[in-house]
Structure 1
Amino acid sequence: NTRDYWAFGGDYGPPGTPSDQNFCCNGLVTPDRRPHPGLHEVKHIYQYIHSRPADLAARTLQIRNWYDFLNLNDVVEAVWRLTADGAELQTGSLPVPDLPPRASKPITIPVKPFAPEPGREYFLEVSFRLKTDQPWAPKGHEVAWDQFKLPDAAPAPALNTAAMPRLALSETSHKTVVTGKDFVVTFDKQAGTLTSLKFRGAELIESPLRPDFWRAPTDNDRGRNMARSQGFWRYAHAGAQLTSFQALSEADGTAIVIKTAHRLPKAEAAWETDYTVYGSGDVQVAARFKPDKTDRPKLPRLGMQMVMPQGFDRIEWFGPGPHETYLDRKDARVGRYAGTVRDQFYWDYVEPGESGNKTEVRWAALTHRKGVGLLAVGLPLLSVNALHHTTDDLQSAEHPFELPRRDLVVLNLDLVQQGVGGDDSWGAWPHPQYLIPCEETSYRFRLRPFGRNENPAQLARQRLP
């Protein structure tokens, strides 16, 4: 790791020199003024032009000018676009109304009629951009935007399981194996875990799916001593004890259900997972968290984590982006984004910690350079993170260059991760609505291996019965 890094208090002077570590070096921009991901949120919250839905079926928005002295028509020009699952369908310019300071007015976007396709999501977006060059930004610089999900929708038809290839179930004292066309799914009967998913001979699992309740602390977390207030959950997954394992086959052979139940002694809770394997190669995962007590600390995260082998270096997702998003920091355009797994880690956080999360993900796909991939589809949504670092890596280094270089992919497929907060960085918690209570909770997602000539977006739109 030979990249530059930002030094801070404690890096200068002899050992024992007093410092506040990175306290004055962890804001919204790097020391050389490049934006941190959080600055995108600030810009959207601070923007002076607000659009709100008036009647989305009629394509009508209410526009408010929050400038104190400027007429909107004198300052900006506007464009709009219609997208379907991130792909642009229509676009055009929009006449900016004569709107005095602090006034509002409805406008109608001239979207041409269209018939919604099954399983697709449609979004309407408006963007306001500088009309002329300004001393601080050129003409065309975006100063405000908003995006709205349209009510236009058509349900995706359910897959016909009867037409799927048949499955074979085999069992030994140690493992249960489900074999289908081009794939093999293996469960460890002693541990009660999904240990292997092979597709056309390629292994997609390095380390099995398991419950996960912890995240690497952020600066705000460290400032309020999360290790003390929520440390109960750091190793809550460890020492899981299998209490039940069942393999059930549908009479027609179209699906096989593996039902597992674990006791989590460190969490004082039960965790149940049902894996339904279909002839299509889909593995639908239904997880349930059942704590004994509900007076435990708030959870930093509630979900499942697995490790994928090296080589699955490309991630694509449909959801807010392209920068990282969190429960209380997700003002980002919903779209289809892609990049390398290594680029999901934000190097310029002065001290490493949680990084690269994606909220409200419809689907995410990890692809190997040889073309084989793993698709994860939220039912309906997931919080997803894919990094080349483990959670322990991220909270064991003071500088990013100290992180071990790994090629494996640590993949979190969560229901939710708590907010990152930011009222201050020396004690304030995230707001209550962005915390995760300790209570019985369940969620679902599905996994689907795919090959080079298969489109993950199309596979994600398919619906299982």
Structure 2
Amino acid sequence: MYEYAKGHDPTRLVHYEGDRKAETTDMSSYMYLELDNLEKKALAEGDNFTKPIILCEYAMALGNGPGAMQEYQERFYKFRRLQGGFVWEFSNLGLWMEDKGYFAYGGDFDDFPNDGTFTMDGLVNSAHTGGRGLVEMKKVVEPVKMTVDRGDILLHNLHDFHMLQGLSLNITVFTFNGRKDKTVFQCTIPCPLIQPMETATVTLPLFPTIPEDVLQCWITISLQLDDATAWAGKGHEIAWCQHLLSHRDWLGTPIMINNQPQVRESKAFYEIQCPNMFIRFDQIYGRMAEWKLHNRLVFTSAPTLAAWRPPTENDMKREAAIWSEHFLGNLQWRIISVLLQPAAANSVKITVVAYIGAVIRDWGFNASIEYTVYGDGTVEISYFLQPRGHYPKHLPRLGIDMTLPSHFSAVDWFGCGPEESYADKRNSQKVGLYSRTPDTLHTEYEFPQENGNRAGTRWLQVTDTHGNGFSVTRVNESGHKGDEFDFTAQHYTASDIEAARHPTDLKRRDEVFLRLDAAHAGLGTERCGPATLEKYRVLCKNTRFTFSFEPVSQED
């Protein structure tokens, strides 16, 4: 066939992935190579290689994914022999069932055998609306890379033949003070003409001096079309970058001089009272039994350690079975001791020592949990964990689960957004201050699975319609706030999502299920490709983390 093709049209390139040695093809072709193996093959013949390498499939876009596209793209740029690849694939291939109200896949037609959801592996949805994978890919393969170096913007034109022209740089400088953001400077300047594969430097315009009291100051630079084209409108964003211009330490909880928490003790409970805050702590179960702010309940299910997430389709090939075998979704507590004692000035501390173990499995965590309550109503929950026994090497996540009453309807955060993001799928989301509801934090996939996570969060606020509620920050070992964490807030439990086969199976609950994660695993492409990269995994190891909950009122 090769000889026939070349004899009839010698201008055509011949590709066949099955010819691993490229004896009769014009390129070396592979599917789903691991990054290390890809790099090894890229260097095998030095820079005098005979044939280029193309990934005829990579970055499988099944469900919530793909992860680690940035790492592949970096190697495509780095090694001349790597000519890129083809993401599998463009679109989900579900068939609309009018009477059911969902896009159907294998098995929905009483068909056997079938490939199940294996046709739902596209960057866009079955209706050809853009999925989260497409947004991530757009950022990863943007044709211009920009960075900020001191007072300059560096622009690198990655086109092989196209000169940059007809573009403008939209520049925004904004600050964040711990609760609000503020745009302090904005302008638009022309982008210079840049030849293919060349780099140009643009001097940043002068902007006002940043006040010392702001926690973070960011600059966002967006490269946009000056005029409409046949394929996009005026102002369409071609590429963007962000840079942290300045930041300062975010101090921990202030000591309230004249505000000592009031404590009452009985045989089974500790009761802690502060202005506009009340906690009843259960000594038997070693956790909060009741928590009120402004006389309204904060939770219907107390904050507790959690390591489970609904599996993604990439998890289902291997990791989900391991996590299930270790009963990560059913960790139970054995309380060893509960101790109330004074802490720093104007605060009290409850220390719980416990063994948190998997049901009928020989592994768990030796745990020490500290609840520190300050006079202003701030509560810090600290976990110190040491795994023991035959524990899993990796976890899907590690953090806190809690269930909130339905009146918590507003969610604001400073971090990556506005859409979902994960450790290895966050390039497309800009750092900023965003507002959503638990309904709109949910990402609907045609096959329901883990979704809606927001990575890189520095500050989170959950409030009711009256503006009352609480904010969340992560506190490091030095006592400073502002360390990154992940969160979700939805009207579905992990079990709801895991049991559903179609979006119509999900029944909205009134409560809000809040997840705060000190660590959350990436997505990878393991269903048909490499597993999640090690740097994006959550190791089961000695761990400590602290979350701070600060009361928020309408007057704040």
Same fold (TM over 0.5): yes
Indicate which of 269, 272, 276 corresponds to 2:365: 269
- Equivalent residue number for residue 397 of structure 1: 500
Residue 79 (structure 1) aligned with residue 79 (structure 2): no
Q: Could you report, residue by residue, the CA deviation over 1:19-38 in whole angstroms, capped at 9, with x for unpaired residues?
A: 21121123221111111223
Residue 312 (structure 1) aligned with residue 403 (structure 2): no
Given that 2:462 and 2:470 are in contact with CA atoms closer than 8 Å, whether structure 1 keeps it comes out as yes
3-state SS of 2:435 partner: strand
- Equivalent residue number for residue 63 of structure 1: 155
Equivalent position amino acid for 2:495 in 1: D
Number of aligned pairs? 442
Query: Any stretches of 5+ residues in structure 2 without a counterpart?
Result: 1-98, 476-482
Displacement of 1:240:
0.8
Residue 30 (structure 1) aligned with residue 125 (structure 2): yes
- Equivalent residue number for residue 459 of structure 1: none
3-state SS of 2:351 partner: strand
3-state SS of 2:120 partner: coil
Residues 44-443 of structure 1: matches in 2 within 5 Å? 44-55=139-150, 59-72=151-164, 74-85=165-176, 86-150=181-245, 152-155=246-249, 160-222=254-316, 224-235=317-328, 238-250=331-343, 254-266=346-358, 267-293=363-389, 296-331=392-427, 332-347=429-444, 349-379=445-475, 380-422=483-525, 425-426=527-528, 428-443=530-545
Cα distance between partner residues in 2 of 1:198 and 1:206: 11
Structure with more contact order per residue of length (Cα contacts < 8 Å, sep ≥ 6): 1
Q: Could you report, residue by residue, the CA deviation over 1:320-359 in whole angstroms, capped at 9, with x for unpaired residues?
A: 1000010111111101111110111112x11111111011
Cα distance between partner residues in 2 of 1:294 and 1:334: 39
Change (3 A) 1:249 1:340: same
Given that 2:415 and 2:458 are in contact with CA atoms closer than 8 Å, whether structure 1 keeps it comes out as yes
Equivalent position amino acid for 1:245 in 2: V
Displacement of 1:70:
1.9
- Equivalent residue number for residue 463 of structure 1: none
- Equivalent residue number for residue 458 of structure 1: none
Cα distance between partner residues in 1 of 2:528 and 2:267: 53
RMSD of the TM alignment (CA)?
Answer: 2.0
Displacement of 1:249:
1.8
Given that 1:118 and 1:156 are in contact with CA atoms closer than 8 Å, whether structure 2 keeps it comes out as no
3-state SS of 2:273 partner: strand
Given that 2:175 and 2:214 are in contact with CA atoms closer than 8 Å, whether structure 1 keeps it comes out as no
Displacement of 1:312:
1.0
Given that 1:244 and 1:260 are in contact with CA atoms closer than 8 Å, whether structure 2 keeps it comes out as yes
Cα distance between partner residues in 1 of 2:384 and 2:471: 21
3-state SS of 2:149 partner: strand
Given that 2:194 and 2:200 are in contact with CA atoms closer than 8 Å, whether structure 1 keeps it comes out as yes
Displacement of 1:272:
1.9
Q: Could you report, residue by residue, the CA deviation over 1:257-314 in whole angstroms, capped at 9, with x for unpaired residues?
A: 1111210232422122111111111101211221015862310001111111112122
Equivalent position amino acid for 2:340 in 1: A
Equivalent position amino acid for 2:347 in 1: A
Given that 1:180 and 1:279 are in contact with CA atoms closer than 8 Å, whether structure 2 keeps it comes out as yes
Q: Could you report, residue by residue, the CA deviation over 1:70-89 in whole angstroms, capped at 9, with x for unpaired residues?
A: 222x2422111101124321
Cα distance between partner residues in 1 of 2:253 and 2:306: 31
3-state SS of 2:510 partner: coil
Cα distance between partner residues in 1 of 2:303 and 2:161: 56
Q: Could you report, residue by residue, the CA deviation over 1:190-247 in whole angstroms, capped at 9, with x for unpaired residues?
A: 111123210121001110111111110112112x133323324543652211112111
> Mean alpha-carbon deviation: is it higher for 41-50 or for 2-11?
2-11
Equivalent position amino acid for 2:531 in 1: W
Given that 2:341 and 2:350 are in contact with CA atoms closer than 8 Å, whether structure 1 keeps it comes out as yes
Equivalent position amino acid for 1:163 in 2: I
Cα distance between partner residues in 2 of 1:328 and 1:260: 35
3-state SS of 2:548 partner: strand
Cα distance between partner residues in 2 of 1:312 and 1:343: 14
- Equivalent residue number for residue 461 of structure 1: none
Given that 1:294 and 1:438 are in contact with CA atoms closer than 8 Å, whether structure 2 keeps it comes out as no
Cα distance between partner residues in 2 of 1:426 and 1:100: 39
Given that 1:81 and 1:124 are in contact with CA atoms closer than 8 Å, whether structure 2 keeps it comes out as yes
TM-score (norm 1): 0.90
Given that 2:210 and 2:217 are in contact with CA atoms closer than 8 Å, whether structure 1 keeps it comes out as no
3-state SS of 2:458 partner: strand
Change (3 A) 1:251 1:319: closer
3-state SS of 2:354 partner: strand
Query: Any stretches of 5+ residues in structure 1 without a counterpart?
Result: 455-465
Cα distance between partner residues in 1 of 2:425 and 2:199: 27
Given that 2:326 and 2:391 are in contact with CA atoms closer than 8 Å, whether structure 1 keeps it comes out as no
3-state SS of 2:173 partner: strand
- Structure 1 residue runs of 4 or more that deviate by more than 4 Å after TM superposition: 154-160
Cα distance between partner residues in 1 of 2:351 and 2:508: 36
3-state SS of 1:426 partner: coil
Q: Could you report, residue by residue, the CA deviation over 1:411-464 in whole angstroms, capped at 9, with x for unpaired residues?
A: 111101100113x5335321111111111011112012222222xxxxxxxxxx
Task: Find the structure with the greater CA-based Rg.
Answer: 2
> Mean alpha-carbon deviation: is it higher for 59-68 or for 198-207?
59-68
Residue 6 (structure 1) aligned with residue 100 (structure 2): no
Cα distance between partner residues in 2 of 1:154 and 1:228: 43
Equivalent position amino acid for 1:145 in 2: W
Change (3 A) 1:291 1:94: same
Residue 449 (structure 1) aligned with residue 551 (structure 2): yes
Change (3 A) 1:99 1:262: same
